[in-house]
Chain A
Amino acid sequence: MFHVLIIGAGTMGKIHNQAFALMKDVKVVGVVDSNHDNKWMDGQVFSSFEQALETMNQIDVVDICVPTPFHLEYVKKAADAKLNIICEKPLARSVEEGQAIINYCKEKNVKLFVAHVLRFFPEYVQAKALIDSGTIGKIGVARTSRAGSFPQGLNDWYSDYQSSGGVILDMVIHDIDFLRWCFGEVERVYAKGTLGEGYEKLDYALITMRFKNGVIAHLEGSWAHSSFSMKFEFSGLTGVIAYDSAKDKPIELHAHTNDAGLGGVAVPESPLQTNPYYRELRHFLDCLKKEIDPLVSAEDALIAVKIALSAIESIRTSQPKWLD
C-alpha cells in the first residue's frame, strides 16, 4: 500500500487525488494546504508539511502540486524525511533551482518523478509510436499547439511572470518535452512572445526549434484563447500525422441553459477507462514498486526547463539561443 501525501489543494492536487482514489493499493493520507478551502478532500487537511509528518505515522510518497516557486522548498522537506517524490511540471522556475532539486534528491537517496503527463496521453504516445515505426518516413516539420484561457491560480500566481514563467514555462513545456522525447536534443531556439507583458490575463508565444537531427519544430503556446485545444502535426517524407483536440472530439455535451435552449456552452470530453493522469501516477508508483526507471526522468524535466527558458531568453534578446 502506498500512502500518499498531496501538497497543494489546487487544480492539479484535485486531479491527482481523483486518480489515486481509483487505485486499490493507494491511500491518500491527506493534503497539505494552508490557503485553500479544501472542499474536494475527504481525508485529512494539514496546514503544514511538518504537521502532516507529525500526525501521520506512515507516508511513502509526497506528491507536490504547489506553484512552481515552492517546488524546491517542498522537495527538500520531503527528501529530508526520506520520502519519495512526485513533483508537478515545470520542475523549477530556473535551471539552478531545478538542478538543486535533482541534486538534493540524489543526496538524500529519494526518488524524484516529474509529472510530464503528455507522455501518458494516448494520442501523443500513439503519434510517437507511428513516427518511430517509420509510418510517415523522415520528419521534416513538426508543429504543436497548446492553447487555452489564462489560468486561475492561487493569488493569481500565473500573472506573476517571475513565479510562473508564463505560457512558455508552464504550458509549452509539455510539447517541448514531448518533441524532445520524439526527436532528441535541441540545437537552437528562436521565439517571439508577449512574456505576460502589456495585456491583462494574456500570454502568447510562437517558438521555432531546430533539433540536432534536423527536424524543424514550431510550437504555439497561448493563454489568449477562449477554449482549450491541443494540436500536433508531423510532416514526413511519405505522410502526415495530425491531431486537433478541438476537431477530433468523441463526445461533446451541449446543455440547454434556458427554456429556449440557447446560450449553452459546449463541453467536450475524451473518455478513457483510465485518464492520462491516472496512467502517469500509476507508472510512477509502479517504478517505485519494481525499482525501474520512469519513462520521463528528472533530467528530462530539467532539460525541458532549460529549453523553455532559452525560448524566453530568445524573446528578450530577439536573437536565436543555442542550447549547449
Chain B
Amino acid sequence: MRIKVGIVSFAHIHVVSYAEALKRIEGVELVGIMEEDRIRGPKYSEWFETKLFTNINDLLMQDLDAVIVTSENVHHKEHVIASASAGKHVLCEKPISVSIQDAQEMIDICKANQVLLQTAFPVRFNSSIIRAKEMIENGQLGKIIAVKGTNRGQCPGNWFVDVNKSGGGAVLDHTVHVTDILRWILGAEVKTVYAEVDNVFTNNLIDDSGILTMQFANGVFASLDCSWSRNATYPIWGDITLEIIGSKGTLSVDAFNQKLNVYTNKSGYNHSFWGDDMDEQLLRDFINSIQAGKEEASITGEDGLRALEVALAAYESSNDKAVITLKFH
C-alpha cells in the first residue's frame, strides 16, 4: 500500500531529517508541505520537490494518508486536531503539546476520528538504547536500582527560546526524550518529580538548565540533566546518556557515541556520527503501523502526555521548591 504523506511546517529542526528519511522509504510519497513562512516554504518545497501550501486546509484537502506535524510546540494542537478531523494519521513532534489539557484533547480527537497519533520519540529507535533495553530484560543487570540520565545540548535558539511559541525551554524540550526512554525500558510510571531549573545559558531568555530527579512507581530513582549546557563550539550538538545501576552490574549507554573524531581548520573538533539513523526507523515504524492497519501507534499520544506531565511537574517543582507528585498516580 502506497502511503501519501504531508508535512505541516518546517519550523522544527528535526523535520529536515524526517523529510530526508521519507525519501528513502519505499512506497511513501511526500505529497506536499504546509508552510506559512515565506522563506522556509519555497526553500523546502524546492528541496524536497513537493507542493507548497500556505494553509493547512489546502494541504489536508489533498489525497493524503498521514501528516507529520513539526510546527512550533504551541501550534501542535491546532495542526494535529485539523489533521485528525480530516481523517489523517498523525506523527506529532515532541513535546506533544505545551499543556496537559491540550494534549488530552488531541488524543481524544484522534481516537474519535480513528486515526493513529504517534509521538515522535526517535530515541526509542536508537540501536544502543534498544540493546540496553534488551540487556535489562534479559536480566543481565539484575534488579534495576537507579538511572543517571543526560540529554544535554546546545541551545537551539530561534523560536525555541520564545516561550510564546515553544511553551518552555530546555526542560520542556529535553525532559521528554529521556523520560519516555526511562518509562519504556523500566516499564513503570513516574511518581514524583523534583527539579532545579535556571536560565543561565540564554541570558535569562528562557529556562535552559535543569536537573530533575524522578521516583518511579517500581522503586527506581533517576536523575536527568536536560540542560542546553553545550557551548557553540562543543563537538556535538547533543547527547543521550544513561548510567544504569542494577543489582548485578552497571550499564553505561552513550547513545550517539558511534562517531568519528574529526579535526578541521575550519571548525575545530567535531563528532561525525555513523550509527543507525533513528529518525528513519521512527518514520518506517509510523508508516508500517498505517500499512498494517494498527489501532494504536507504537508510541502513543498518551506516551507523549506522560512525558509532558514530567516536564511540567519539573517547572512546578522548581517554582515551588518542592517535590511534585504526579496527578496520574
Contacts and interface: CB of A to CB of B under 8 A. Distances in A.
A140 B231 contact: no
A210 interface: yes
Interface stretch (B53-61, B118-126, B191-199): B191-199
B12 interface: no
Contacts of B223: 192, 206, 208, 218, 220
Interface stretch (B76-84, B244-252, B281-289): B244-252
A188 interface: yes
B230 A194 contact: no
Interface string A206-235: 101010001011101010111000000001
A224 B246 CA distance: 8
Interface stretch (A38-46, A74-82, A124-132, A237-245): A237-245
Nearest to B231: A239
A197 to B, nearest CB: 11
Contacts of B213: 190-192, 206, 208
- Is chain A's binding surface mostly helix, strand, loop or mixed? strand
A219 B241 CA distance: 15
Contact of B225 (A143, A214, A222, A237): A143
Contact of B227 (A138, A140, A193): A140
Contact of A220 (B210, B229, B243): B243
A217 B230 CA distance: 16
Interface in A258-276: none
A294 interface: no
B322 interface: yes
A319 interface: yes
Interface residues of A, number: 36
A202 interface: yes
A238 B322 CA distance: 31
A141 B225 contact: yes
| B: contact size bracket | 35 or more
Contacts of A190: 194, 196, 213, 323
B322 A237 contact: no
A202 B247 contact: yes
Contacts of B221: 192-193, 206
Interface string B57-101: 000000000000000000000000000000000000000000000
B213 to A, nearest CB: 6
A141 B211 contact: yes
Interface of B: 145-146, 148, 152, 192, 194, 196, 198, 200-201, 203, 208-211, 213, 215, 221-223, 225, 227, 229-231, 233-234, 243, 245, 247, 249-250, 321-323
Interface of A: 136, 138-141, 143, 188, 190-194, 199, 202, 204, 206, 208, 210, 214, 216-218, 220, 222, 224-226, 235-240, 318-320
